[in-house]
Amino acid sequence: MAQALREAARGLGRTAPNPPVGCVIVSGGEVVGRGFHPRAGEPHAEVFALRGAGERARGGAAYVTLEPCSHFGRTPPCADALIAAGIARVVVAALDPNPRVAGRGVERLRAAGIEVTVGVQEPEAVRQQAGFRSLVTRGRPWVVYKYAMTLDGKVAAVGEGSGAVTSAQSRARVMQWRNELDAIAVGIGTVLSDDPALTTRGIKDGRDPRPVIFDRQARTPVTARALRPGTIIVTSPGAETTHLEEVGAVIVRAEALPDALGELRELDLSSLLLEGGPRLASSLFAECLVDEVRTFIAPKLLGAGLPPLNNAAYSMTDARALRDVQLEALGPDLLVTGLLNDIPRLEVPGALGER
Amino acid sequence: MAQALREAARGLGRTAPNPPVGCVIVSGGEVVGRGFHPRAGEPHAEVFALRGAGERARGGAAYVTLEPCSHFGRTPPCADALIAAGIARVVVAALDPNPRVAGRGVERLRAAGIEVTVGVQEPEAVRQQAGFRSLVTRGRPWVVYKYAMTLDGKVAAVGEGSGAVTSAQSRARVMQWRNELDAIAVGIGTVLSDDPALTTRGIKDGRDPRPVIFDRQARTPVTARALRPGTIIVTSPGAETTHLEEVGAVIVRAEALPDALGELRELDLSSLLLEGGPRLASSLFAECLVDEVRTFIAPKLLGAGLPPLNNAAYSMTDARALRDVQLEALGPDLLVTGLLNDIPRLEVPGALGER
């Protein structure tokens, strides 16, 4: 399953609104086929793995990171393909929360006499599929707030030309995330003050995430580096946006942040890497729309500057705890990640586990 | 040497203006004596260890965390005691930066034909002796700023009854530090808002650090829990303090913070655990008077509140880097420690190392 998860990871940031899925087929003690879902409209992971395995799939076992589909979407059901290929055993990491599947893929395989095990490395799979799971069950992308701060809690100094908070290693990790998440979001304040390009740099076969600029009054300059054909401007219903549309921007109009995120779902964005600034992050945090945080902490003290969040809280007991906290030393920096909201998942009922 | 360092640790917080020192005597492959310096005026570590070893010291090796003294202070020179006992080999962790010793202890031993090795576990020893080293070379205590913050960099909420930032494990660690450092410092703001007792709780054979209240206008209420006989009030030259003196407070008058710290040296305080608030910490930080930070980070987000430091910095390049950074997971929290200033030490010259 670890190999299947690595296969799936190759599709991260490319498959929405579909999930990233990986599949490995084992026969006679060796891997005979592997595949991943490269993008929506193209075949699913199981199909690539079965193609690779050919006749050797017969009697073999398929390891797949998400329950095989049981319905006709843009491609025929993968459960049927596994059955037709003569697979004897299927190991599934996690059930598909899509109401059109939701256990029916496993049922279909079992009805055909295939032995099915569900729940192997489920936590890893669910985390990898957070965007897809958010999209199909909550109708909005999974929002990850990434920030880098000093040990005294400052994400930026007050002056211009502030310099980087963290090390090159940490900044390289951010590039990896930009390559893996569907979109990258910033507030208009960040665009006006920093003019970031919001591109993926230094990653082999990397691709740029889609920029999303939260810009209530449509103040984004047409010369902004993040403004490319396809860049999304989230603005208010009445804002004048002709100049932005002329350079290829896609306009999303919404009064409230939850509505705006719902609109992004319509644009097939399953995950959003929120890179700043503190004002936008604070607004999303206040409405419980930040699902995950990824915090770099640099071992230095600044003294003054902007905090990562700055809204209203009266008592320390108002603090929201992170779950699934992970720590990593990254060069001189520290990386802390954790979830504020649960990733939607289906409980594996006893009847669906191994039998 | 590790055993000698553990011996020395037993004196932490009790020996100022002397250093904490440990000594272990090994003969015939076994430990025959051990000792530590319990407090100023009492015998040094070597004396206790030699007493324990008795005649077995002859021909043995002494492991000592600090260079044996060569001068007559309140007690005779330890170098002479080691020579008289017939010790054949002395292993020293670190040289004594006290100008009255500074290598002369080692020279004295060698002149008596004893084999001396210097520099074994020196970094650990130097760190353990930070307070003493600061006192004898800089004339002021070693200042440790301890704070606990949320992952969004807040040490406190704005409301009352804020609740604890960190877990019970982290708070227990703070009690350990209170037991090991000479004094505990807070600003008058903290006294007025929180009325902390500043005592050591839950530590076997623990003792309370000496409270130091930075209180420019002498506003400390006579009912303050931290106000005990011996509590130090650092105030301005003209402040009216009769009411505080009547309850046993010791008054230190100084215009500027460096002077105030110099006065604490006269009161035999070698180390200061600065527990808040942010205003006092910011003032000390601005004058480069914070030597070390110990930061607890709780995996939760508050949104709003007070930062650990809040003074003036214009650019991220103004940030001051920590050295010797150490990370530790402590229950759900993370502990980051590091140095802002170097601990004074003497280089071990080639001639003083092993020979």
Residue type, B183: A
pLDDT on residue A353:
58
Residue type, B239: A
Which chain B residue is nearest to residue A315, measuring alpha carbons?
B162
CB-closest option in B161, B310, B322 to A151: B322
Cα dihedral angle (B265, B266, B268, B272), rounded to 10 degrees? -30
Annotated binding-site residue? B208: no
User: What is the nearest CA distance from B256 to chain A, expressed in angstroms?
Assistant: 20
Q: Residues in chain A with pLDDT < 70?
A: 159-162, 311-314, 348-355
Which residues of chain B lie closer than 8 angstroms to A317, CB-CB?
162-163
Percent of chain B scoring above 70 in pLDDT: 95
Q: What is the ipTM of this complex?
A: 0.74
CB-closest option in A159, A313, A325 to B303: A313
Report the interhelical angle of A45-53 vs A2-9 (nearest 10°). Answer: 120
The Cα A244–Cα A246 span in angstroms is 5
Q: Considering all CA atoms of chain B, what is the largest pairwise distance in Å, rounded to the nearest integer?
A: 67
Task: Please give the full DSSP string across A306-355, using - where no structure is assigned.
Answer: B-S--S---SGGGPEEPEEEEEEEETTEEEEEEESSPPP-----GGGS--
Exposure of A56 in the CB half-sphere (CA atoms within 13 A)? 15
Higher per-residue pLDDT: B347 or B181: B181
Number of neighbours of residue B113 by Cβ within 10 angstroms: 8
Tokens for B277, please give them: 């608030």
The Cα A53–Cα A59 span in angstroms is 11
Region B223-231: mean pLDDT is 95
pLDDT on residue A63:
97
The Cα A3–Cα A22 span in angstroms is 8
Task: Please give the full DSSP string across A273-297, using - where no structure is assigned.
Answer: EEEE-HHHHHHHHHTT---EEEEEE
B287 in active site:
no
CB-closest option in A153, A282, A313 to B308: A153
Which residues of chain A lie closer than 8 angstroms to B297, CB-CB?
297, 336
pLDDT over 70 at B352, yes or no: no
Q: State the average pLDDT for chain B.
A: 89
CA-based radius of gyration for chain A: 22
Going by C-alpha positions, the residue among A312, A254, A307 that lies closest to residue A283 is: A312
- Strands B61-66 and B22-27 turn out to be antiparallel
pLDDT on residue A314:
61
CA angle B4, B7, B11 (to 5 degrees): 135
pLDDT over 80 at B355, yes or no: no
Mutation to test the B interface, candidates A316, A328, A335, A336, most B Cβ within 10 Å:
A316
User: What is the nearest CA distance from A68 to chain B, expressed in angstroms?
Assistant: 36
CB-closest option in B150, B165, B336 to A299: B336
Q: Do B309 and A307 touch (CB under 8 A)?
A: no
Q: Do B153 and A329 touch (CB under 8 A)?
A: no
**Active site (catalytic) residues of A:** 46
A125, A94 in Cβ contact below 8 A?
yes
Q: Which helix (H) or strand (E) holds B252?
A: strand B250-253
Give the pLDDT confidence of A63-77 residue by residue, as tens digits: 999 999 887 777 778
Annotated binding-site residue? A107: no
Annotated binding-site residue? A162: yes
Which residues of chain B lie closer than 8 angstroms to A319, CB-CB?
150, 157, 298, 300-303
pLDDT on residue B307:
81
The Cα B79–Cα B64 span in angstroms is 11
Annotated binding-site residue? A240: no
Region B167-175: mean pLDDT is 91
Going by C-alpha positions, the residue among A192, A257, A258, A175 that lies closest to residue A227 is: A192
Tokens for B228, please give them: 């005990």
Which residues of chain A lie closer than 8 angstroms to B162, CB-CB?
315-317
Write down all domains in chain B, each with its CATH number in brackets: 2-128 (3.40.140.10), 133-339 (3.40.430.10)
Annotated binding-site residue? B275: yes
Percent of chain B scoring above 90 in pLDDT: 65
Which chain A residue is nearest to residue B323, measuring alpha carbons?
A299
Tokens for B166, please give them: 């960190």
Report the interhelical angle of B45-53 vs B2-9 (nearest 10°). Answer: 120
The Cα B131–Cα B142 span in angstroms is 5
Annotated binding-site residue? A194: yes
Is residue A91 classed as helix, strand or coil in its secondary structure? strand
What's the residue count for chain B? 355
User: What is the nearest CA distance from B298 to chain A, expressed in angstroms?
Assistant: 9
Which residues of chain B lie closer than 8 angstroms to A314, CB-CB?
157-159
Exposure of B139 in the CB half-sphere (CA atoms within 13 A)? 5
Q: Do B162 and A311 touch (CB under 8 A)?
A: no
Q: Do A304 and B285 touch (CB under 8 A)?
A: no
Annotated binding-site residue? B242: no
pLDDT over 90 at B267, yes or no: yes
DSSP state of B57: G
Which residues of chain B lie closer than 8 angstroms to A302, CB-CB?
309, 313, 316, 318-320
The Cα B117–Cα B98 span in angstroms is 19
The Cα B276–Cα A59 span in angstroms is 68
CB-closest option in B165, B303, B318 to A157: B318
User: What is the nearest CA distance from B340 to chain A, expressed in angstroms?
Assistant: 9
Q: pLDDT band for position B354 (50/70/90)?
A: low
CB-closest option in B149, B316, B334 to A156: B316
pLDDT on residue A161:
55
Give the pLDDT confidence of B287-321 residue by residue, as tens digits: 889 999 999 999 988 887 778 887 666 677 778 88
Among the listed residues B7, B30, B46, B347, the single catalytic one is B46
Give the pLDDT confidence of B116-162 residue by residue, as tens digits: 999 999 999 999 999 999 999 889 999 999 999 999 888 888 765 56
